Amino acid sequence: MPPARPLVVTSDADLLEDLLRIAATAAVEVEVAPDAGAARRSWAGAPAVVVGPDAALGCGRLRLPRRPGVVLLGDDLDDAGIWQLAVEVGAEHVVFLPDAQAWLMELLAEAVEPSSTSGRVLAVVGGRGGAGATTLAAALAVTAARQGRRTMLVDGDPLGGGIDLVFGGEGDHGLRWPELGATRGRLPGATLTGALPRMNELSVLSWDRGQAMSVPVEAMESVLDAGRRSSDVVVVDLPRQTDACSRTALQVASLVLLVVPAEVRAAAAASRVAAQLAPACADLRLVVRGPAPSGLGADEVAEALGLPLAGYVRGEPGLDLALDRGEPPAGRGRGPLSVLCERVLDEVLPPVRGAA
């Protein structure tokens, strides 16, 4: 069944034009009924109902069932009779256009996609260049999608080359960051995920092959907010240098994973990265990646950095070659990377509905 749409009840052509414009700005499709009789079928099931003053009397006389989320539009602030009509219709709110335009836009958007349905954000950062953060971010996203979770993967590193390369999807159609850089305010989650390239059953927001650009803070806020409303988990691959945009992702992340190779110099470099991340993170943990040429243990790296250890990933033969061929990580059976990702996701995210 298609999702229910907000119901607009009016036969006033000018008012309907205004309401359709407001709905279009909110990226919401509405159902239109010219009168109370036509509205009867969808009245109870619509996520919200907006009644024009021309249709209010008919709705009251027809005694449509009382329900929450009914808004009555008034056309005259000095008309005391509008409040009596509100009682007869069972309206929760009486509003007047154009003053209530922004409020009504938010109401329609919330009706079809409530902000309370928020997914979790997981962020991944490399302790040094080539640490494997992008590989882990992609593996987490692939594993989450394989578990049946609605998943979005966001490339937050403009100098990383594009995370779509991990999937061999650099030529896939869909929006990239340059098209979303000017985004401000509320972005409908379903619209965003539907416009992004789909790779391995997940939505991927990456870069194009053009000139590097930075992501405005407002755009990152809009994307993450939309992603949380439309997805169970949003995985963000972040650069080592923490800027205002990165802090936006770090502050909303339920978990931040710092990836560090089991090497002395890598641990030393990662200590500086950790010092930048810690103030913005609610939960910062360490992932140590093997092999360890000098025998440096994961616990020793964790102790040196003063961070809890999320896990150790030993070397996985053939992984680098598979990535070069556009074969995503964690999609190759029960390797060490898949096992780590499953453990992290099971610990941080709610159980998948219907899972045994």
Q: Residue 16: name the closest of 52, 43, 47, 41 by CA.
A: 52
Q: Is residue 288 within 8 Å of residue 309, measured between CB atoms?
A: yes
Which of the listed ranges 23-27, 304-308, 347-351 does the model predict with the highest average pLDDT? 304-308
Q: Residue 120: name the closest of 356, 354, 352 by CA.
A: 352
Determine the Cα–Cα distance for residues 197 and 175; give it in Å rounded to an integer: 7
Q: What is the pLDDT of residues 257-277, one digit of tens each?
A: 999 999 999 999 999 999 999
Q: Is the pLDDT of residue 20 over 70?
A: yes
**Beta bridge partner(s), residue 288:** 260, 312
Residue whose tokens read 């080592």: 240
Determine the Cα–Cα distance for residues 130 and 157; give it in Å rounded to an integer: 13
Q: What pLDDT band is residue 36 in, cutting at 50, 70 and 90?
A: very high
Tell me which architecture the domain covering 7-112 has in CATH: 3-Layer(aba) Sandwich (3.40)
For 86, half-sphere exposure in the C-beta direction (CA atoms, 13 angstrom radius) is 19
**Beta bridge partner(s), residue 198:** 203
**Count of H-run helices and E-run strands, the chain:** 14, 13
Q: What is the pLDDT of residues 97-109, one digit of tens each?
A: 999 999 999 899 8
Q: What is the pLDDT of residues 180-196, one digit of tens each?
A: 988 887 888 888 888 99
Q: Is the pLDDT of residue 316 over 90?
A: no
- Report percent pLDDT > 90 for the chain: 65
For 215-238, give one letter per residue: b (16+ CB within 10 A) or e. Answer: bbeebbbbbbbbbbbbbbbbbbbb
Determine the Cα–Cα distance for residues 241 and 148; give it in Å rounded to an integer: 33
Amino acid at 72: L
3-state secondary structure of 257: strand
3-state secondary structure of 277: helix
- CATH number of the 120-348 domain: 3.40.50.300
Task: Phi first, then psi: give them for residue 6, nearest 5 degrees.
Answer: -55, 145
So what's the pLDDT on residue 356?
47
Q: Residue 49: name the closest of 114, 115, 107 by CA.
A: 107
For 102, half-sphere exposure in the C-beta direction (CA atoms, 13 angstrom radius) is 3
So what's the pLDDT on residue 27?
82
Distance between terminal CA atoms of the chain? Answer: 26
> 47 or 327: whose pLDDT is higher?
47
Determine the Cα–Cα distance for residues 51 and 95; give it in Å rounded to an integer: 10
The model's pTM is 0.78
Would you list the domain boundaries of the chain?
7-112, 120-348
Determine the Cα–Cα distance for residues 164 and 309; give it in Å rounded to an integer: 28
Q: Residue 348: name the closest of 284, 259, 280 by CA.
A: 284
Q: What pLDDT band is residue 117 in, cutting at 50, 70 and 90?
A: low
So what's the pLDDT on residue 3?
61
Fold matches, 7-112 and 120-348: yes
Helices (H), 97-207: 101-112, 133-146, 177-180, 189-195
Determine the Cα–Cα distance for residues 67 and 121; give it in Å rounded to an integer: 35
The tokens describing 314, both together, are 């030993």
Q: Is the pLDDT of residue 12 over 90?
A: yes
Determine the Cα–Cα distance for residues 280 and 295; give it in Å rounded to an integer: 32
Mean pLDDT (the chain) is 89
Q: What is the pLDDT of residues 127-164, one digit of tens each?
A: 998 889 999 999 999 999 999 999 999 999 988 888 99
